[in-house]
Structure 1
């Protein structure tokens, strides 16, 4: 597992924020299974080895204020005959952190035209 540099996000956390921002644009918030599905569908995403990994990363992001969550209204779940879901949202700070991290990673990536010149 990659070591965290102070203040930086690891690959899975960046992938979660990116997928969360996409899901949020469609539905306003998202839940863990939808997020896992989106991550699996994204090309080049960090491998998700288990759902426990996803929820641990969501917990770390929540501790840093990059995502927030709340439990779904019990009435909605009951109407659909399923358990309640925890709903997540990427915060403004999460969007800023995602953009900063992706910009920094892009800037540090070698240029394929000059990498082997």
Structure 2
């Protein structure tokens, strides 16, 4: 199925659902690799084909206002001897989008990200 402008696709819904699950477990902010791990461990969801796919979807979701992101403190990354991570968190709009996606999934109806949003 081809994406229509302003609609939530399955991968984006999976990302948001994983982010909401992390938040329920006490992780308000998460990085992409952590998110990919949660998605891969979830039952009934597809496996990511490439991390580039994930990061493009994260950027679309942030542009749509469903995720917010910040860079972690450089000192935290340096203390662990690794590059800084971009940390994401789901927004209230994400909760509504996932609920709408779940409700429309049975009927095969796509879910609008937000009115008038165009991912292209």
What TM-score results when the alignment is normalised by the length of structure 1? Answer: 0.85
How many residue pairs match? The answer is: 107
Q: Are residue 65 (structure 1) and residue 60 (structure 2) matched? A: no
Separation in 2, partners of 1:31, 1:24: 12
SS state at 2:8 partner? coil
Unaligned ranges ≥5, structure 1: 110-117
Aligned residue number for residue 39 of structure 2: 39
Unaligned ranges ≥5, structure 2: 109-120
Deviations for 1:63-105, whole angstroms, at most 9, x for unmatched residues?
1111011100011111122111000001111111011111111
- 1:28–1:89: 8 Å Cα contact kept in structure 2? yes
Moved over 6 A (4+): none
Separation in 2, partners of 1:98, 1:55: 19
Aligned residue number for residue 6 of structure 2: 7
Note the C-alpha offset of 1:15.
Answer: 0.3
Aligned residue number for residue 55 of structure 1: 55
Separation in 2, partners of 1:9, 1:46: 16
Residues 72-111 of structure 1 correspond to what in structure 2 (within 5 A)?
72-106=72-106, 108=107
Greater radius of gyration (CA): 1
What TM-score results when the alignment is normalised by the length of structure 2? Answer: 0.83
SS state at 2:70 partner? strand
SS state at 1:88 partner? strand
